Amino acid sequence: MTTIVLASGSPRREDLLRALGLRFEVLPVDIDESPFDGEAAEPLVQRLSQSKAATALRLRGDDGALVVAADTVVVLDGVVLGKPADGAENRAFLSRLSGRAHHVLTGHTLVRDGQRETVVVDTEVRMRALDSGEIERYVASGEGLDKAGGYAIQGRGSALVERVDGCYFNVVGLSVATVVEAAARLGVRLV
């Protein structure tokens, strides 16, 4: 059986892979996630997921393992909303997203035996109109501070979302179907 390595410290990504009944190693990688000047969202998540996969390979060596890496951003009006730095920025993000549709893009990179698959998945999410009290209570929960766009769709943030068009799991941080299909192209059957 091929060793699977998740190049991420995200408990949400771990949960999604674990739900498939997979056993895998977790190898959090630390890279600079800052966008280049003028870098659009799709090239950004491609580059970051590829960098995470490459870093994991450097750390553990290329021993034929399947390395899975991902990076997720929220995009509103062409502007990337990353993880809010603090409560004030979290509040600002939610105020901007309130009552509007935005896009969640995740770059998925899988590497095995020198072969690489990179796929970007784009999901549209519409947030319902939020009043200032709802925003304040959500920000006070702290849930959105380490999440792209400042909310967690799988947690309390589920109450903020009106509609999802596309892959729900992509919004959580990993399109499971994309990972399964990319792994199969690399010769690894996950399901």
Query: Is 165 part of the annotated catalytic residue set?
Result: no
Q: Residue 118 and residue 97: Cα distance in Å, rounded?
A: 28
Domain ranges of the chain: 4-185
Q: Which of 76, 99, 70, 74 is nearest to 84 (CA)?
A: 74
Per-residue pLDDT of the chain (191 residues; tens, 9 = 90+): 899 999 999 999 999 999 999 999 999 999 999 999 999 999 999 999 999 999 999 999 889 999 999 999 999 999 999 899 999 999 999 999 999 999 999 999 999 999 999 999 999 999 999 999 999 999 999 999 989 999 999 999 999 999 999 999 999 999 999 999 999 999 999 99
Fold that domain 4-185 belongs to in CATH? Maf protein (3.90.950)
| 36 secondary structure, DSSP code | P
From 30, 32, 62, 71, active-site residue: 71
